[in-house]
Amino acid sequence: MADLYAHVDETQLQEDASSSLLTYGTKFHPDIIIHAKGIYIYTASGHRMLDWTSGQMSCLIGHGNPEIVEVITKHATSLDHLFSGMISPPVISLAKRLTNLAPTGLDKAFFLSTGGESNEAAIRLAKFYTGKFEIVGLSASWHGMGGGAVSAQYHSGRAGYGPVLPGNFALPAPNAYRSIFRNSDGSHDWRTELEYGFSFIDRQSCGSLAAVIVEPILSSGGMHPLPPGYLTALKEHCERRGMLLIVDEAQTAIGRAGDMFAFQHDGDGFVPDILTLSKTLGNGIPLSAVVTSDEIAKFAKEADFTFYTTHINDPLPAAVGDKVLEVVVRDGLVERSSELGIVLQAGLRQLQERYGCIGDVRGRGLMAGVEIVADRTTKEPALGLGDRIGKRMTELGLWAQLGTMQSFAGVFRIAPPITISEEELQEGLRIMEKAFADTEGTMPLCQRGTETTVKANL
């Protein structure tokens, strides 16, 4: 394997990492990763793994994509970074291509580096446009690490850092598997849940509600898709209160969830007031976007809205984003993601039929969640079991992250590059099956007539 780091001293690297790297909220993977190509990542010991998280949910069209490599090389040579007030052909091209792909009402864009940064900008823009300051998020959300984004998210990381920005409130995150709000037939009553949540928001607000920020699929919160119609109903709530609706599509956009933008799954009539993109737009290169309407953009220009950063509208990452959009459209990858998503969901549901520890399978497109429980009736999380399954999957050559934070409850997050082949997808499913079969406590299910019984492997 020809590789820049083919002959590293892994022991020395581990020692150097231990002595010099500051931790930042996650345990480091036990192996040193030295190479990534296509849908695979490779360790210093030569172990190959299918990458079912696309890096940090970002490498949409695969690691080391040759077209992306060519764009980076050309622009690093001729047009890399400029004064923030200057614009360049790749920035203009990306803005034009992106707004042409988006529905009317998402008409103008600018480009930043990270998802957290784009959400900071969106929140700041919403406050500026409305003249108000209160921000509402979902109770299992994740939007970034800046002051405004952290204040508007509730998945984790709030304790121990002092007060967040004033005027932040949480709506109950819709969780079809665990919500206590139920219709008479047992289905999730998300409409009542949403009304109930806003009844508390209205009581807490000082009359300065500016915006709601949501993800179409709560990824860090456990891979929960918003129910069909939820975004439309949420926007109606916003409009009644004079609020804007910000949709954060860091992980879900550009075909990942089976639509160009995941909010489009809610129907043709729904368009957010502000859309933020990141991760998938740059295919692993730091790139994010804020997209909004002509009306809001006009106000921002005339009233001198400010979000001035060192790397705003940088040409090199913009060129990468432009190429990502070109490839996704040219190669029909949105439709491919939708079609392979059906294959992925079917394979995961077959696993659910075979192992009693799988409480729920959910997702859309090539974005899925598999929730591990100790008991399907009580839905008690089984974090230790999930960890053992995950370690066995890694040993067998599949990397899929298990979230173990409280708002996760123990969910495998699956999001391979959307360039994955059906054969590679089936390879990953076979590895998952083997990992479940090899791990004690997964509760294999045996079919006897019309009865399902649990075969103990404790």
Number of residues that make up the chain = 458
- What's the pLDDT at 277? 98
What pTM value is reported for the model?
Answer: 0.94
Backbone angles phi, psi at 295, to 5 degrees: -65, -50
- What's the pLDDT at 211? 98
Q: Which two tokens stand for residue 208?
A: 């300065």
- What's the pLDDT at 458? 40
- List, in order of start, the domains of the chain with CATH numbers: 10-60+332-454 (3.90.1150.10), 67-330 (3.40.640.10)
Q: Which two tokens stand for residue 112?
A: 């930043």
Instruction: Show the DSSP H helices in 49-189 as ranges.
Output: 54-57, 66-78, 89-101, 115-130, 147-151
Compute the distance between CA of residue 413 and CA of residue 399 in angstroms, rounded to an integer. Answer: 10
- What's the pLDDT at 250? 97
Catalogue the active-site residues: 142, 215, 248, 251, 279, 413
- What's the pLDDT at 405? 56
Compute the distance between CA of residue 438 and CA of residue 446 in angstroms, rounded to an integer. Answer: 16
Q: Could you say which residues of the chain have pLDDT below 70?
A: 1-2, 403-409, 447-458
- Is the separation of the CB atoms in 203 and 172 below 8 Å? no
- What's the pLDDT at 452? 47
- Is the separation of the CB atoms in 393 and 399 below 8 Å? yes
- CA distances to 153, 268, 399 from 265, in Å: 23, 8, 28
Q: Which two tokens stand for residue 340?
A: 């392979």
For the chain, what is the radius of gyration of the CA atoms? 22
Longest dimension (CA), the chain: 71
Residue 393, C-beta contacts closer than 8 angstroms, at least 6 positions apart: 399, 400, 431, 432, 435
- Is the separation of the CB atoms in 263 and 272 below 8 Å? yes
Q: Which two tokens stand for residue 377?
A: 């009736």
- Is the separation of the CB atoms in 113 and 84 below 8 Å? no
Burial label for 13, CB within 10 Å (0-12, 13-18, 19+), is middle
- What's the pLDDT at 408? 57
Q: Which two tokens stand for residue 173?
A: 């995150």
Rounded to 10 deg, the angle between the 115-130 and 294-302 helix axes is 80
- Which DSSP helix (H) or strand (E) runs through 42? strand 40-43
